Amino acid sequence: MDKYQYQAVRIMEYVMLVAAIILIIFGKITGDTFFLRLATEALIFGGLALSVDLLLGIVGLLSLGQALYFGFGAYLSALILRDWVPSFWLCILLVAISSAILGWVTSYIALRSKGVYFALISFGLAQVFAKSIYNTRALGASDGMVGVPIVQIPLPFLTLNLGDAITFFVVTFILMSCIYFALKYFLYTPLGRIWGGVRSNESRLPYLGYNTQTPKRIAFILAAIVAGVSGALYPMLRGFVSPELMYFSVSGNAVITVVLGGVGTLIGSLFGSSLLMILKSIIGTLTFHHHIVIGLLFIVVVIFAPKGIVGILCTKLKERATR
């Protein structure tokens, strides 16, 4: 990460923070909840994109099936909240632990392969899971599950009600910030350095005395946890889950989000997700066929700005500094 990228990431962190504060004030004054709920959803899918970026941008593994863990988290969260006990903390904790176990088990399948084959095997795994859920009557089959109750979060001094749009947004924002900074912290540990090594030249690392399989497995499990916890928030927001959450379009969208924001920057995932959500809702009000515009946007970004928004910001900063 050079000086300019460091600056670009810092700027975008501030932009996100300011945007969140403006949104909260706007919501408080007008009492409008539509945009807040939209922003919350953007952050939730941003969490999924974060996990894709951890694998793709940091370790160099393209996952086309990250929706598997997202959907798993969402279903498990819906089951816990609806049928067992509507407790926020217990739900997040259980989802995190089970996602880690699922990630650990599936890593033994997925990490046998590299490159394109890793992408395809992760895609296949998600497909098996999605189709199995789709066929399971006990999990609502193609209809999914509805009727997830509104959750209260008990804190030492007050109780937060997630039915309130502002509260939910703040909780999601704080949770995603925690995940973001935790992942960023990992980058500066010895483990994070090995990840960078795996990305640049995996076959050389063993010659330097490093085992690459364990760091990759840790990244894979971490990504599963991040995706699972993000998914756990989804039914709390929308009140339902459906098998579409595990479909390829969700995984594919997450990859596109990462590329739009900037691969390997982490903040790009959250930023890209918000931007994509804004674009979708703006274009969606103008025309019924918004997919055409979104598709064109991806093509333009991939061809002209393959480093995403962070990349554009970087070149701008560099131009200004060298002028």
Residues that bind another protein (CB under 8 A): 56, 62, 109, 112-117, 119-121, 123-125, 127-128, 131-132, 134-135, 248, 252, 255-256, 259, 263, 289-292, 294-299, 302-303, 306
The residue among 285 and 322 lying less far from another protein, judged by its C-beta, is 285
Task: Identify the DSSP state of 242.
Answer: -
Say if CB 234 and CB 77 are below 8 A apart: yes
d(C-alpha 62, C-alpha 151), whole Å:
35
**Six-digit token string for 16:** 């996100």
Give the chain's end-to-end CA distance (angstroms, integer). Answer: 22
The residue among 136 and 161 lying less far from another protein, judged by its C-beta, is 136
Determine phi and psi for 211, rounding to 5 degrees: -85, 130
d(C-alpha 227, C-alpha 224), whole Å:
5
> Cβ neighbours of residue 276 under 8 Å, at least 6 residues apart?
42, 253, 256, 257, 260, 294
Closest approach of Cβ 305 to another protein, in Å? 11
The residue among 191 and 278 lying less far from another protein, judged by its C-beta, is 278
Say if CB 44 and CB 233 are below 8 A apart: yes
Closest approach of Cβ 9 to another protein, in Å? 20
Closest approach of Cβ 165 to another protein, in Å? 30
Determine phi and psi for 152, rounding to 5 degrees: -105, 140
Return the beta strands (E) in 110-212 as ranges.
145-146, 152-154, 159-161
Closest approach of Cβ 264 to another protein, in Å? 10
The residue among 149 and 295 lying less far from another protein, judged by its C-beta, is 295
**Six-digit token string for 144:** 């999914």
Closest approach of Cβ 122 to another protein, in Å? 10
The residue among 189 and 200 lying less far from another protein, judged by its C-beta, is 200
d(C-alpha 251, C-alpha 260), whole Å:
14
Task: Identify the DSSP state of 107.
Answer: H
Closest approach of Cβ 115 to another protein, in Å? 7
Closest approach of Cβ 156 to another protein, in Å? 46
Report CA torsion sign: 31, 39, 150, 132: positive
The residue among 124 and 239 lying less far from another protein, judged by its C-beta, is 124
Closest approach of Cβ 294 to another protein, in Å? 6
Return the beta strands (E) in the chain as ranges.
145-146, 152-154, 159-161, 240-241
The residue among 113 and 177 lying less far from another protein, judged by its C-beta, is 113
The residue among 37 and 280 lying less far from another protein, judged by its C-beta, is 280
